[in-house]
Copies of this chain bind each other. A is one copy, B any other.
Amino acid sequence: MEDTKQEFSLETELENWPTYTFDKRKEIFYSLPRHEAEELFLSLNGSNQAELFQELPGYERRSWIRLLAPDDVADLIQELPKDYQSQALELLDPVTRNEVNALLAYAEDEAGGLMNSRFARLRPEMRVSEAISYLRAQSKAQIETIYYAYVLDQHQKLMGVVTLRELFNTFPTKVISEIMTTDLVTILDTLDQEEIGKVFSQQNYLALPVVDGDNVMKGIITVDDVVETMQEDATEDIQKIGGSEALGEPYLDISLFSMIKKRAGWLMVLFVGQLFTASLMKMFEGEIEKAVVLAMFIPLVISSGGNSGSQATTLIIRAMALGEVRMRDWWRVLMRELGSGLGLGLILAILGFIRIMVWGDAYGEYYVYIALSVSVSLVGIVLWGTVTGSMLPFALKKVGLDPAAASAPFVATLVDVTGLAIYFSVAHFFLKGILL
C-alpha cells in the first residue's frame, strides 16, 4: 500500500529495537516528530519505555507518562530504579495514581499486576438500549475495551458479562440481568502469570475478568497482555533448560559482565559436580591401569546417559509447563520412561556392540568381553539417565523449586557421575579374572 510507509517504518523500528544500542534508540526517539515518537513510545514494552523515560528532561516527563494506561504506567514504574519510582508516581493525576498504586501492590507476574483496572461496567437492572448508549459514551473514556461489559452489584461483586455484540443482537427493552452470561471463567487476582497463560491458551478468550477472593471485580486481563508474558515464560524455561539463569533481558542488551555472571553460576555448580567424576575415576585408577582399553569408552558411555537424560528432562519440563503432565502423573511418567529408557538403551547397546565387534582385535584379545561390558552398561546408563531426567522435575517441583532448574546439563552431570560407577561395575563383572 502506498500510504503505509510511515506505519511500516514504525514497525521496522520496533522489530529492530531489541538489536539497537541505547544511543541509537535515543537518536531515533528524538529525531521523530512528536506524534510518531508517541506512537513509538506507546508500542514499546515497559523496560524500553523506562529507559527512554529516564533520559527525558524533567519538565517533559509528565506528558509522556500520562500517555499511558494505568497498567502500562505500573509496568514502566516497576522498571525504574527504586528512588525514581515515587517521583514518577507524583507526575500522575490523583485518580490514576491511586489505580497505579493498587496495581503496584501486586507482584508483577500475578494477575493483579497484569490486569487493567479500567473496564466497562453495567448495572444488572439496566435495559439493553440504555446499556448500549452507556457503552457508547464510555467509548471516549480511557477504558481497555467496551466490547466486553461486566455486570456488577452494588458491592462491586461480579454477576455476569455481556458482549457489545450480544447487546446488538437482543431486543432493546430487555434487562441486562436477563441476558447476561453468568457461568463465568474468572481469574483470581493472585494467580501467577504462567497459570494465566495456560487458561488463555487452552481456550479462546479475548479478555477475562480478575476478581479477588470475595468475587469483587478488580480489573480485566486481555489476551494481548498475556502473549507477552507467555513469550517471557517460554524464554525463561528455555534458558534454564540450557543450563543458565534466565537472562531477563534481550541477549544483545545485557552487559557482558551480567551475562557472564548469569552463566557462570550454573557452570560452576556443574563443574563442582563433575569433580566427582575425577574422584570416581581415581577410585578406579587400578582398573584403568590394568585395562587401558576401558578408558577408551568412557566419554561414549557417560555422554549417552547424559544425552538420554537431557531428552527426558526437557520433554517433562515442557509437558509440565503446558499442564499436560501434573504432579499426580509421576507414576505414569515413570512407567513410560522405564519403557523408553529400556528401548533407547537397547538400540544404542546394539550399535555399540556392532562397532566394537567390527574393530575387534584393535581392543585386544578379549574384545568380546569389552563389547559386552560397554553394551550392558549402555542399557543400564541410558535407562538410569532417562529415569533420573524424567523424575528430577517432579522432585524439584515437590520441594517447591522450579522444575525447569532440572536443566539438560544438570541432568547430564548427575548422570555422568553415576554412569561411571555403573560402567566400572559392569566391566568388573565381565572382566574379572580376565583383564581385571
Judged by a CB distance under 8 angstroms, whether A237 is at the interface is yes
| Contact A263 B340, CB 8 Å, known A201-B231, A242-B311, A299-B420 | yes
Within 8 A of B (CB), among A317-344: 317-319, 322-326, 329, 332-333, 336, 339-340, 343-344
- CB-CB under 8 A from A135, the residues of chain B are 168
Q: Which residues of B contact A266 (CB under 8 A)?
A: 307, 311
Complex: A295 Cα to B288 Cα, angstroms: 8
User: Contact: B318 with A238, CB < 8 Å?
Assistant: yes
Cα-based distance from A250 to B321 in the complex (angstroms): 12
Q: A264-B343, A292-B292, A315-B244 are in contact. Are A250 and B324 (CB under 8 A)?
A: yes
CB pair A238 B234 closer than 8 Å: yes
- CA A267 – CA B147 in complex, angstroms? 51
Judge whether A32 is part of the interface by a CB distance below 8 angstroms.
no
Q: With A282-B362, A285-B292, A323-B15 in contact, is A318–B146 under 8 Å at CB?
A: no
A123 to chain B minimum Cβ distance, whole angstroms, is 18
Scan A1-22; emit 1 where CB is below 8 A from any B CB, else 0.
1011111100100110011000
In the bound complex, how far is the Cα of B295 from the Cα of A288, in angstroms? 8
Find out whether the CB atom of A408 lies under 8 angstroms from the CB atom of B242. yes
* Min CB–CB distance A147 → chain B (angstroms): 5
Secondary structure of the A side of the interface? helix
Partner-binding segment picked from A49-57, A80-88, A348-356, A425-433? A348-356
Do A296 and B285 contact each other (CB < 8 Å), given the known contacts A237-B238, A307-B270?
yes
A146 contact set on B, CB distance < 8 A:
165, 168
Verify B251–A325 contact, CB threshold 8 A.
yes
Which residue of B251, B272, B295 contacts A319 across the interface (Cβ within 8 Å)?
B251
Q: Collect the chain B residues with CB atoms within 8 Å of residue A6's CB.
A: 183
Chain B residue at smallest Cβ distance from A159: B1
Distance between Cα atoms of A227 and B226 in the complex (Å): 8
Stretch in A92-100, A105-113, A202-210 touching the partner: A202-210
Min CB–CB distance A80 → chain B (angstroms):
21
Q: Which of A60-68, A395-403, A409-417 touches B?
A: A409-417
Asked if A351 and B272 make an inter-chain contact with CB atoms under 8 angstroms apart, the answer reads: yes
Contact B224 A200 (CB under 8 A): yes
A278 close to chain B: CB less than 8 A: yes
**A304: which B residues are within 8 A, CB to CB?**
267, 270-271, 274
Q: Measured between alpha carbons, how far is A295 from B271 in the docked complex, in Å?
A: 17
Q: Which of B8, B18, B200, B413 contacts A307 (CB 8 A)?
A: B413
List chain B residues, Cβ under 8 A from A288. Answer: 288, 292, 295
Q: A436 an interface residue at 8 Å Cβ cutoff?
A: no
Docked-complex contact A19 and B325, CB < 8 angstroms: yes
Q: Which residues of B contact A270 (CB under 8 A)?
A: 303-304, 307
B183 touches A205 (CB 8 A): no
Which of chain B's residues have a CB closer than 8 A to the CB of A237?
238
- Given known contacts A184-B7, A242-B241, A275 and B252 CB-to-CB distance under 8 angstroms: no
Asked if A243 is an interface residue, CB under 8 A from chain B, the answer is yes
Could you tell me the distance in whole angstroms from the C-beta of A112 to the nearest C-beta in chain B? 19
Point out which of A185, A244, A318 has the most chain B C-beta atoms below 10 A from its C-beta: A318
Complex CA gap A425/B4 in Å reads: 60
Mark contacts of A294-315 with chain B using CB atoms, 8 A cut-off: 1 yes-contact digit, 0 otherwise: 0111111011101110110111
Task: Judge whether A434 is part of the interface by a CB distance below 8 angstroms.
Answer: no
Q: Which residue of B lies closest to A259 (CB)?
A: B340
- Across the interface, A260 reaches (CB within 8 A) one of B206, B242, B343, B420, namely B343
Across the interface, A206 reaches (CB within 8 A) one of B168, B222, B347, namely B222
Contact between A18 and B324, CB atoms less than 8 A apart = yes
A405 to chain B, nearest CB (A): 14
A/B interface sample: 9 pairs, CB < 8 A: A239-B314, A244-B314, A250-B322, A266-B311, A267-B304, A268-B347, A274-B303, A292-B295, A307-B412
Q: A1-B158, A235-B322 are in contact. List 11 more A-B contacts (CB 8 A).
A: A1-B215, A15-B202, A201-B231, A238-B314, A244-B315, A271-B307, A271-B351, A282-B296, A288-B292, A408-B409, A409-B412
